[in-house]
Structure 1
Amino acid sequence: MSRIPANDPLFDEDALRREIDAIWDKSSSLDVARKDVLALLKRTNADAREAAREQLTSERKGTLCAKRISHLTDRLIRVIYDFAIEKVYPVDNPSAAEHMAAVAVGGYGRGLLAPGSDIDLLFLLPYKQTPWGESVVEFILYMLWDMGLKVGHATRRLDECIRLSKQDMTIRTSILEARLLFGDDTLFKDLVQRFRSEVVAGSSREFIQAKLSERDERHKRQGQSRYLVEPNIKESKGGLRDLHTLFWIAKYHYEVQSGEELVRLGVFSRSEYQRFKKGEDFLWAVRCNLHFLTRKAEDRLSFDVQRDVARLLGYQARSGLTDVERFMKHYFLVAKDVGDLTRIFCAALEATEVKSEPILDRVLGKLAIGRRGRRKDKEEAIGDLLVENNRLLHRDEEIFDRDPVALIRVFHLADRQDYAFHPELLKLITRKLKLVNTELRENEEANRLFLEILCSPRHPEKILRDMNEVGLLGRFIPEFGKVVAMMQFNMYHHYTVDEHTLRCIGILSDLENGREPERHPLATQLLKAGTLNRKVLYFALFLHDIAKGRPEDHSIAGAKVARKLCPRFGFSTSETDLIAWLVEQHLTMSMTAQSRDLADRKTIRDFAGVVQSIDRLKLLVVLTIADIRGVGPGVWTGWKGQLLRTLYYETEPYLLGGHSQISRERRVEAARAELFGALADWPEAERHAYVARHYPPYLLRVDLEAKLLHAAIIRKVDREKKRLATGFTLKPFEGTTEITVVAPDNTRLLSTIAGACTVAGGNIVDAQIFTTTDGMALDTIMISRELSADADESRRAERITSLIEATLEGREKLPESVARKVATRRPTKAFALETQVTLDNTLSDRFTVIEVSGLDRAGLLFDLTRMLSDLNLNIASAHIATFGERAVDVFYVTDLMGHKVLTTGRQGAIRRRMTQAFDGVPEAKAVPKKQVA
């Protein structure tokens, strides 16, 4: 623990006491004196904390900062106490009952305090409370509260402390770290002695189990992964509280007073204890800076503050990583170190009198039984390994020195036989990582075993995560080591790159084993057929993000890495080419499905030209599903699944040569005939008239079920002689609700609908716009589903359609309503994205494709579509995709004559005006950020 230099006071205590004496001497009353002393203490505390903040900024020593603030608090409380007993409530000859001890407990008792943390105090009494003692305690507490400090307190007799410690584990833990601030030293020593003899003695197992249960519950609340991109610096897995838990258990079980003693006891090596101290110091530096920045006890390292903390800690951008990404990578490496230290610590625990308890399994939330429920209570030998309670353990510590390949072989065995790991074995692996060298990496058996682990039909994610946790995975494959703990500073990715990759492998394994057939019917079907090259698919997925953090596009750089690594793992030239292609194109299908018009033949032809073969298409769709699913909770939606399936089924005939055999005219006539036949219950003349109202694009793009719904709505409009009607259809599997609007065609229709959806809280994900021959618009809007129950979602859809009708009829005014709605949504300040506007006439045979991307915000689609209307452009379809904080909106448009936008001047004006609309800047004041031709 960092020590405070003797010449490093945050304030002059002697001078403060003299000022208090002067205030007391000249004050006319106690109230006046208290008020003036309080003002002085507030000023002293504020100035001292500012000095601590400045020292933290210059020195970047977190533990020292926390110790300074704790020491500052000690001295202020002592000054208040002395003022109370000497000036306010003096007693010449205090009785035995009027003695007390003020004790710091909890984190404050440890002598470490963050700027916004609670000050936990225990006022310890020998007997019952006296009026004098009650007055002193009350005076101290109110002074601290009035200073703006958060104080947790208890006043208890010694007997009460012992009794409650036996009953309440929280109280027991707080007293474990008790530290005398002032008062009766003998009383405090009695507390320590009785606590050890009456509470701690013989209860080590109970305490350990309680602390590990608390830890499990805390991790569950915070999210089980230590690689969440907005971690809680105190409570998340790998945070400060995990280190505290280790020290609590160590202090309770080994009866040590400092971490240094754990080295003497052999629990940690000297280097491991240095990692403990460095990790603790880093976490304290982050936490103290967080509290200073936010001016409150904020422990969540959110996007809004990550960049500021990175700057305060001195991180700078380097070779493909921003300053904040380098900072967060350091954080996640420290969190990983905390996990390593936990395993090492638990190995030592199992070697003592709690050896019958599988501590490591308990800590990691595992069971000492296999996944198939098999348990081997007897010890058995497997070569140089033992199996003890279904956990692998080494016979001697030279096993890996004799044969470094055994570092890989033990994980292969654990996967094949469903074994867990003894903590001693994991500790030994961690300490033998230096054996992983070029010779081992080129070893044919080691690489074969690793590939079998990666492609295991059992649980590859679990074994790979174990390898990653001990540091072996990144050492064996250095390219993967570069992305371990790497964070991407955006709201789209929920995990670090390595954690995302491992989750993707787990999802692919679930798909292959048929665990989610209803959610992913296409992927399940393709994998069940058994025709896909499993090794190619798993290895490509393992490599798909391996080049993140480099200056070059990670897909292109990743393909180069794949070409380098594949021969090492025994892949043929053709397999290497296929893996490299999958890595290079791993985003192509997702981007095409989400941001292109899948009913446009040019989209399908272009995509088929990239894919080129049906085998590639099958592999790519499965890889894409696993990749999106692995991003984080809530990222995958049924709508995205539907888009991917549509793109797959539309592309498949192209790759098999089917579409070239049927002309567009014949397909239009076939669609007319199909719709005509489906309206069999209509009079024949009405059927002919209705089918004739639709242009070919509508007949080709819309499925029959939707056509029949539209027919019913339009027929109702005609019979009731209305000019406006709406309807909706719930799409539970896709996770969307489809809203249909029939109204007189005009260029502002989609803008009006988008504004109404904004006001009603409907998130548009796709839109198709069609016009009938008699001038009516038939718009289909897909919005994200929000409510699980169909009845609730139906009521929500009714509210949205009612608002759309009110807006189109002029009963609801836009854009005023949109402005009011947008004003209630706080924009994120953490990200600054460049607005990009692209016009492309090669992506469609009939339309100009406008793509705009940048920082997402409320009301964006309304502003963009309104601007397109102002530019006299007809929108044929709109495709809205959001990737965290980044919005990518794509519009297929023509001019009012139905032609593409071809003139350079007109294109320039569109780019300028769309940039202004995206940025929400009035045209006269707008300064375009970037325009891409």
Structure 2
Amino acid sequence: MNGTSPNRSRQRDIIDRAKLAEEISALCADLDGAKLRAEVLSLLQAALRDGKAEISRRLLDQPSHGRSCAKDQAFLIDQIIRLAYDFVTNSMFSVANRSSAEKLAIVAVGGYGRGEMAPYSDVDIAFITPYKRTGWTEQVVEAMLYLLWDLGLKVGQSSRSIDETIRMALEDLTIRTALLEGRFVWGDREVYEETSVRFWSEVAAKTGPDFVAQKMAERDDRHKRMGDSRYVVEPNIKDGKGGLRDLHTLYWIGKYVHRVRSPAALVDVGLLTQEEYRNFEKAENFLWAVRCHMHDLAGRAEDRLTFDLQRDVAERMRFAARPGKSAVERFMQLYFLNAKTVGDLTGLFLAHLDEAHAKKGRRFLPSFSRKPRKLHGFVLDRGRLALPNDEFFREDPVRLIELFQLADLYALEIHPLAMRAARRDARLIDNKVRLDPRANELFLEMLCSARNPESVLRWMNEATVFGRFIPDFGRVVAQMQFDMYHHYTVDEHSIRAIGLLAEIERGDHREDHPLSSAIVKQILSRRVLYVAVLLHDIAKGRGGDHSVLGAEVAFKLCPRLGLSEAETETVAWLVRHHLLMSATAFKRDLADFKTILDFAQVVTSIERLRLLLVLTVVDIRAVGPGVWNSWKRQLLSDLFEAAEEVLRLGHKQRGREERIASKKTAAQSELALPAEKFQRLAKRMPESYWIAEPDDIIIRNLRLLMDNAQEALAIDACYYPDRGATLITVLAADHPGLFYRIAGAIHLAGGNIIDARIHTSTDGLAVDNFLVQDPWGRPFQEADQIQRLKQSIGDALANRSKLSPRLMAKPVALRRADAFRIAPSVLIDNKASNRFTVVEVSAADRPALLNNLALALFQSKVTLHSAHIATYGERAVDTFYVTDLFGGKIENKSRLKALEARMLEAASGMTQENVQAVA
């Protein structure tokens, strides 16, 4: 048959090995030695570069064809290796008659062996010889490696005899896995064939169960390293949970146990159904497409789908924005749905494997079980909840809810085949099932379980039953929020929050959450709290205020679940105001009594206050690791106690005086001062000081005042474990620009201010307390670190160093935050406080932001009384309580407009005018 096949022609567009071989032969005829090698290297470099460019062009042209890209890349590397081998063996180390020992097989192993590579993947090859290496084989291997390295390839290689290969495969799981994917590339095929036969007969045949167990353990360890969730917002596309490695693990196990030659053959041996294999193919193709785009964009091996790459990959894969959802959020939602598919396939695959290999009454994979009393028609299959027949859900779709309720009730695992049936039959959940009182009662019982609702709800979500039964929840499944604050998708965050609530109720977090652990026992309606936690973010991604829209969902859904009218109203209120407590605690001055009154006016009752505190705690804690800290716990506790006092006293300020008196009594006792001397000391500090500061800081401040009565400047710094930060106190004559200089000095010393309390004594002395952490959110504890902070502040206040030029020399951007576009905003509120004008600035976080804002306040000729610094991932929200220079609110409209403009300019970045304004 004449002509060239389309596939062959397509491959030649990437690299034409026959043509290149002719060109190399021509060079060999004319040149020799180093010059010949240099020319051949140049030829191969051009071929590799052109081949990569063609593959990249095809990927851009067909951005969802991931597997094609991966196979094209492996094909390109195959041809380069073949050309390199032929050149080395024919021209550099030519031997007329090779002995039986002078044979060499080049075998692709690992992912390259499977014939799939991302653009910058490692080239994993094994050089295999029949016996011990000879001088010739060593020369060839060395020359080939240097040639491949000079081409810029990252080569992972081994060089062993057949005996060594088999012995090491028996000893090492990694080598065994690599050889499992072994594929002949070039050289002596007989050596490869012998190695393959011996691998299957001497290694694989004897180590099947051991290989499966070790691979599953290896997978679990890998998941833990990567965050142990497939819903982290910057996932590792290769090694993370739900990534390519999980799919490959399934194939490796199937291949090892059944010697299948392709994933499609997993269907033939009963480890996947035809539909499951189609899902396998779709997920693998999508993940390969994403990974290839990531490598192509980064220009290097990059397997973590970081925020900056997410936006670019979404654009390359032609995702478009929709109302309430950006293009990148739609792309990531599809990623998470594919990661979920990988998880589903893993469970089903292992179930099939278990069934095929378990002995009667005994499982291939370990589990736990207990004996339940009533299963309502469900059966136990070796300790797992299973179905009596395949029609069981069709006979009564309410059983789709009951399956998970029983799993929770009796702490049972669900058989993967029952999960598959649930996933298949989830479409049976219609309005009739949703309105069924029994179904809603079972769901509410499971949701409010004191046992382990998190795991069971997650299973229910993975089976798609959750989203079918609560359609509003189905809308946020796999939905990410494109920011650095939230670590998980909306559904995963909500399920984790429910799990945390159950743990707090059981008393598992008394140390981290002492107040919540105590008051959760006093809450009158558990189910109000659990339903509110479930619904607090349910309206995200709808293009409006998710708190308002979520309250509307609550009004519709709660009666269906069986909640009373009063309970429904409370749930809706909690969803509507679930951000109120954190916003008040972290962005407002709790020493300003109007802040407490305004907050209490919205809350209205002690029961709602308790519910809101626990909801706020689990919401923050479930955002991700490292988000909760002792500083946030203290602020929320302070707000709770102050609001509780107001609510109990009927909105009167009598409790304020009692708190001040109590703190003064405690301070006098600790300092052991005579009453008259203490009164003189205490009168120096205003009432707001006694409300704002905790007892231990008050005592430390008063000691500093006594010890430095004659000093113009005093600086104290210590590790403050209660807030997970370093406490810095500065005593200095109050003057404009003081806060700017202190903030700048702390920044120059490598510190990050997380809270600031600015006080002025009655005799004009500034008493300023700062809580400071390092750029990674850790306190400064070492003596030399603390001394550096004190020295930097002292130098700045004594004018021993030029502050502004040094600040400008510091970096002004956080690299990861570059992926986000945050328009700065400034809100000025004269109603939030009776005494102060409140200025709230929201902007992209960066190291110099607070210093710029402090300088802008100084230039605006206002007096700063307190500052509250909050950071939400890439976004900083800094709030300042200010007055004019005479101590009154700023009322003049033109002054307010000028203040807003200057603060907005500072939030956007320091201007040249700012730089020159202060020495």
Report the TM-score range of the alignment, normalised by the length of the smaller protein: over 0.9
3-state DSSP of counterpart to 1:887 = strand
Distance 2:380 2:293 in 1: 47
2:57 to 54, 60, 79: 54
Given that residues 812 and 846 in structure 2 are in contact (C-alpha distance below 8 angstroms), is that contact kept between their aligned partners in structure 1?
no
Matched, 1:441 2:434: yes
Alignment correspondent of 1:145? 149
Displacement after TM superposition at 1:251 (Å): 0.5
Distance 2:751 2:520 in 1: 36
Matched, 1:408 2:401: yes
Alignment correspondent of 1:805? 794
Distance 1:488 1:824 in 2: 22
3-state DSSP of counterpart to 2:882 = strand
Given that residues 385 and 413 in structure 2 are in contact (C-alpha distance below 8 angstroms), is that contact kept between their aligned partners in structure 1?
yes
Alignment correspondent of 1:487? 480
Given that residues 675 and 707 in structure 1 are in contact (C-alpha distance below 8 angstroms), is that contact kept between their aligned partners in structure 2?
no
Displacement after TM superposition at 1:473 (Å): 1.2
Given that residues 663 and 695 in structure 2 are in contact (C-alpha distance below 8 angstroms), is that contact kept between their aligned partners in structure 1?
no
Distance 1:561 1:658, change over 3 A: closer
Deviation readout 1:745-797 (Å, 9 max, x if unpaired): 01211111111211222221221111123221111112248999999356644
Q: Using the TM superposition, name which of 582-591 and 461-470 deviates more.
A: 461-470
Alignment correspondent of 1:7? 9
Distance 2:871 2:481 in 1: 16
Displacement after TM superposition at 1:617 (Å): 1.0
1:471 to 447, 460, 464: 464
Matched, 1:450 2:438: no
Alignment correspondent of 1:906? 895
Alignment correspondent of 1:740? 729
2:758 to 769, 780, 784: 769
Alignment correspondent of 1:156? 160
- The amino acid across from 1:760 in the alignment is A
Q: Using the TM superposition, name which of 190-199 and 834-843 deviates more.
A: 190-199
Displacement after TM superposition at 1:63 (Å): 0.5
Alignment correspondent of 2:93? 89
Alignment correspondent of 2:700? 709
Distance 2:385 2:736 in 1: 70
Displacement after TM superposition at 1:634 (Å): 0.7
Given that residues 847 and 899 in structure 1 are in contact (C-alpha distance below 8 angstroms), is that contact kept between their aligned partners in structure 2?
yes
Deviation readout 1:691-738 (Å, 9 max, x if unpaired): 4433343345445543333222112222xx210112245442332333
Given that residues 381 and 387 in structure 1 are in contact (C-alpha distance below 8 angstroms), is that contact kept between their aligned partners in structure 2?
no
3-state DSSP of counterpart to 2:781 = helix
Displacement after TM superposition at 1:39 (Å): 0.9
Distance 2:510 2:805 in 1: 46
2:567 to 572, 575, 584: 575
Displacement after TM superposition at 1:192 (Å): 1.7
1:44 to 44, 47, 52: 47
Distance 1:608 1:824 in 2: 39
3-state DSSP of counterpart to 2:286 = helix
Alignment correspondent of 1:551? 543
- The amino acid across from 2:342 in the alignment is V
Alignment correspondent of 1:929? none
- The amino acid across from 1:8 in the alignment is R
- The amino acid across from 1:46 in the alignment is R
Alignment correspondent of 2:588? 596
Distance 1:606 1:757 in 2: 33
Given that residues 319 and 327 in structure 2 are in contact (C-alpha distance below 8 angstroms), is that contact kept between their aligned partners in structure 1?
yes
Distance 1:858 1:866 in 2: 14
Alignment correspondent of 1:930? none
Distance 1:244 1:681, change over 3 A: closer
Q: Using the TM superposition, name which of 883-892 and 104-113 deviates more.
A: 104-113
Equivalent runs, 1:831-870 vs 2, <5 Å? 831-870=820-859
Alignment correspondent of 1:541? 533
Distance 1:99 1:620, change over 3 A: same
3-state DSSP of counterpart to 2:789 = helix
Displacement after TM superposition at 1:182 (Å): 1.7
Matched, 1:562 2:562: no
1:201 to 205, 222, 231: 205
Q: Using the TM superposition, name which of 798-807 and 784-793 deviates more.
A: 784-793
Displacement after TM superposition at 1:439 (Å): 1.9
Deviation readout 1:256-307 (Å, 9 max, x if unpaired): 1112112233322222111100110111111111111111111111112111
Distance 2:36 2:690 in 1: 87
2:84 to 80, 83, 86: 80
Given that residues 836 and 915 in structure 1 are in contact (C-alpha distance below 8 angstroms), is that contact kept between their aligned partners in structure 2?
yes
Given that residues 401 and 435 in structure 1 are in contact (C-alpha distance below 8 angstroms), is that contact kept between their aligned partners in structure 2?
yes
Given that residues 645 and 655 in structure 2 are in contact (C-alpha distance below 8 angstroms), is that contact kept between their aligned partners in structure 1?
no
Alpha-carbon RMSD across the aligned residues, in angstroms, is 2.6
Displacement after TM superposition at 1:396 (Å): 1.8
Distance 2:505 2:60 in 1: 51
Displacement after TM superposition at 1:234 (Å): 0.4
Alignment correspondent of 1:369? 368
Deviation readout 1:495-554 (Å, 9 max, x if unpaired): 11111111100111111111122321221111123x421011000100001111110111
Distance 1:7 1:439, change over 3 A: farther
The two structures have a TM-score, normalised by structure 2, of 0.94
Alignment correspondent of 1:698? 689
Matched, 1:281 2:273: no
Alignment correspondent of 2:309? 305
- The amino acid across from 1:655 in the alignment is L
Distance 1:99 1:785, change over 3 A: closer
Distance 1:299 1:905 in 2: 53
Deviation readout 1:310-333 (Å, 9 max, x if unpaired): 111111111211111111111111
3-state DSSP of counterpart to 1:224 = coil
- The amino acid across from 2:468 in the alignment is R
1:507 to 500, 504, 511: 500
Given that residues 448 and 526 in structure 2 are in contact (C-alpha distance below 8 angstroms), is that contact kept between their aligned partners in structure 1?
yes
Given that residues 385 and 392 in structure 1 are in contact (C-alpha distance below 8 angstroms), is that contact kept between their aligned partners in structure 2?
yes
The two structures have a TM-score, normalised by structure 1, of 0.93
Given that residues 447 and 568 in structure 1 are in contact (C-alpha distance below 8 angstroms), is that contact kept between their aligned partners in structure 2?
yes
Distance 1:706 1:77, change over 3 A: closer
Alignment correspondent of 1:71? 75
Given that residues 837 and 914 in structure 1 are in contact (C-alpha distance below 8 angstroms), is that contact kept between their aligned partners in structure 2?
yes
Matched, 1:527 2:530: no
Distance 1:466 1:358, change over 3 A: farther
Matched, 1:101 2:105: yes
3-state DSSP of counterpart to 1:279 = helix
Give the number of aligned pairs.
Answer: 908
3-state DSSP of counterpart to 1:156 = strand
2:347 to 343, 352, 358: 343
- The amino acid across from 1:528 in the alignment is K
Query: Structure 1: which 5+ runs fail to align?
Result: 927-933
Distance 2:848 2:780 in 1: 27
Given that residues 745 and 792 in structure 2 are in contact (C-alpha distance below 8 angstroms), is that contact kept between their aligned partners in structure 1?
yes
Deviation readout 1:75-105 (Å, 9 max, x if unpaired): 1111112222332222333232222221111
- The amino acid across from 1:469 in the alignment is E
Given that residues 667 and 699 in structure 2 are in contact (C-alpha distance below 8 angstroms), is that contact kept between their aligned partners in structure 1?
no
Distance 2:90 2:185 in 1: 17
Distance 1:703 1:644 in 2: 13
Distance 1:716 1:70, change over 3 A: same
- The amino acid across from 1:553 in the alignment is D
Given that residues 746 and 752 in structure 2 are in contact (C-alpha distance below 8 angstroms), is that contact kept between their aligned partners in structure 1?
yes
Distance 2:816 2:342 in 1: 35
Deviation readout 1:826-881 (Å, 9 max, x if unpaired): 46321110000111111111111111111000021111111111111110000000
